[in-house]
Chains A and B, each alone.
Chain A
Amino acid sequence: MNRSDIMDRLKHLIVKESSGEVDMGDLQEGPDSLRNLGLSSLLTLRLLTAVEDEFGIEWDEEVDDDILTDLGKMVDHLADELSAHG
């Protein structure tokens, strides 16, 4: 899966898990791009859990905060994880 595919799947996942509060037009890359979506604690938790299920990864407890708050960095992280685990 290339970066563009991951980005596309991740964007669809965010829209789906946000209970209609986020649409594709809201999703930009850059610092705090995910944090600025204003998702509640529960929606954030649901999203990160859905990412684990969708991409077959597990978040490490020491994952960098930037990865969880920046859409582009999350995609890069997922690409690295998927590449490392074949």
Chain B
Amino acid sequence: MSLLADLLVEKAYEFGDRIAVTDPRGRSALSYAQLHHEVTEAVQWIQARIAPNQPVLFLPGDTPQDLAFLLAAVISHAVPLIGDKVWTDHEVTTLVANTGAVAIISSDRNHTATGQPVPSPVADLTDIDFARFTSGSSGPPRCLGFTERALLHAGRSWSDGAGIHGDDIVMCLATLNNGLAFNTSIVPVLEVGATLVLPGLRLLPSLLVKAIQQTQPTILVAFPFVYEALTREPPAGLASLRLLISSAAPLTTSISDHWKATLGLDICNYYGLAEVGPVTFNRGAIPGSLGEPLLGAELRLTSAASPDSATDTDRILVRTGSMAERFIDCLQPDFQSRLDIDGFFATQDAGHLVDGSLIVTGRLDNIINLAGRKFDPQQVRQVLLSCEAVSDAVVRMESVEGQPTLTAYIESASVAKSQIIAHCRNQLAPYKIPQRWRIVERLPRSSAGKILADRLNQMGSIAQ
């Protein structure tokens, strides 16, 4: 019995030949009936290769057929661990070991056994239908097990909060594994009989505008840098849009103001976490806010110590119907330790409420949020230190021309920038690779040998 399979059958009957998902040119479009057929066929393909209740690392692409394959994986009774296709071999190897994934399936249906024991001894998969990964904010990404019920709840609460209708066309520029796409653009679209456009194209303003003109989307789901890039395009080409959704990463005021001035639209933001799904939605009416709780979501604030000052601040705790059941990997801590006695998940975010709307003021740890992707700069530093020619390094966010920029300060007498970037590319996803480099023979240090962080900014003139 699968709630998701039932939903697809129901929608196939209800919407039949209406387009469920397409690419901009409609070359691989699937109607609701075709999507159901494609999913059914893919379920059989998966079940012929993977025993029930076994974890499989699943790395989806971003075509309509990939979406069908992803839905099939959730329905199949294998337990797909839905990952990012841009992960390096090193990252994939680590995650396979941590989760006990018995196979890796890529979007082209390339199926590779991992050599892990079958059945997998690593994780408790009881009642788990699929898993997603945290962004790896402290070491390797954690693998979160969910039920189909949580998936459908996330979709329904989102379509309710964002007001998605059957005649909407949703263009989603995030990859299918990303929370921005997973929670806002799959079930919410299918639930109401709308159409999902997966451009699968290079993110160039000219190509995006062409795709928008071809498909006439009413809703755009994209990361902040896309909204910035599109500001150079004439607004007439974007006139079909009625709702703009960005990730939780902040947009600069000038970008928001541009869209408001040219199209009369606010860029809507939301608060959500991999562990709990979408929590709030802001239609843009309250600047700086992430909005009010979605259906079934509850917020609680408790006092917590701020890492940046001696003062206390408020930690955000959340409880939703979309929450994960548990971590399904061999790492610590376990998921239950992050829940309070009432089942509220303790986030690492600080904030407060204004008239019921959530304002996030910062992090309670040192995690970086770069265009909506969160990660620990210490992970990047460890990779840098694993390069033989590097004796020490500092990785942090800096503002460059108003843009948050991941910056690495490298202590090395011999390493070249191209060499260290190539080293990073072998071990880190592209978004974790620093964009700004300062390579010096010696980093500024105190007499005790501690790196003087406040003097790093002055190194520009002497850096390589």
Contacts and interface: CB of A to CB of B under 8 A. Distances in A.
* B interface SS class: mixed
B446 interface: no
Interface stretch (B110-118, B260-268, B399-407): B399-407
Contact of B228 (A35, A42, A52, A68): A42
Interface string A14-39: 00000101000010100010011111
A38 B160 CA distance: 40
Nearest to A63: B202
A36 B421 contact: yes
Interface residues of B, number: 30
B435 A21 contact: yes
B437 interface: yes
Contacts of A35: 425
B433 A45 contact: no
Given A49-B205, A61-B202, A40 B435 contact: yes
A42 B229 contact: yes
B418 A26 contact: yes
A49 B204 contact: yes
B202 A36 contact: no
B422 interface: yes
A38 B421 contact: yes
Contacts of B435: 21, 38-40, 43
Contacts of B422: 32, 36
B401 A38 contact: no
Contacts of A49: 204-206, 229, 232
B418 A59 contact: no
A45 B203 contact: yes
A58 interface: yes
B205 A21 contact: no
B203 A36 contact: no
A42 B225 contact: yes
A58 B208 CA distance: 12
B204 A45 contact: yes
A41 B418 contact: no
A46 interface: yes
B207 A61 contact: yes
Contacts of A59: 202, 204, 206-207
B225 A45 contact: yes
Please list the 9 inter-chain residue pairs (A to B) with the smallest Cβ-Cβ separation, ordered nearest first.
A42-B225, A40-B435, A38-B421, A61-B201, A36-B421, A45-B229, A38-B433, A61-B207, A41-B225
Interface of A: 19, 21, 26, 28, 32, 35-43, 45-46, 48-49, 52, 58-59, 61, 63, 68
Given A45-B225, A59-B207, 6 more contacts: A38-B421, A40-B405, A41-B431, A42-B228, A46-B229, A63-B202
Interface of B: 201-207, 223, 225, 228-229, 232, 371, 400-401, 403, 405-406, 417-418, 421-422, 424-425, 431, 433-437
28 contacts: A19-B401, A21-B435, A21-B436, A28-B418, A32-B422, A32-B425, A36-B418, A36-B425, A37-B421, A38-B435, A38-B437, A39-B435, A40-B406, A40-B435, A41-B203, A42-B225, A42-B403, A43-B435, A45-B204, A45-B225, A46-B229, A48-B204, A49-B205, A49-B206, A49-B232, A59-B202, A59-B204, A61-B202
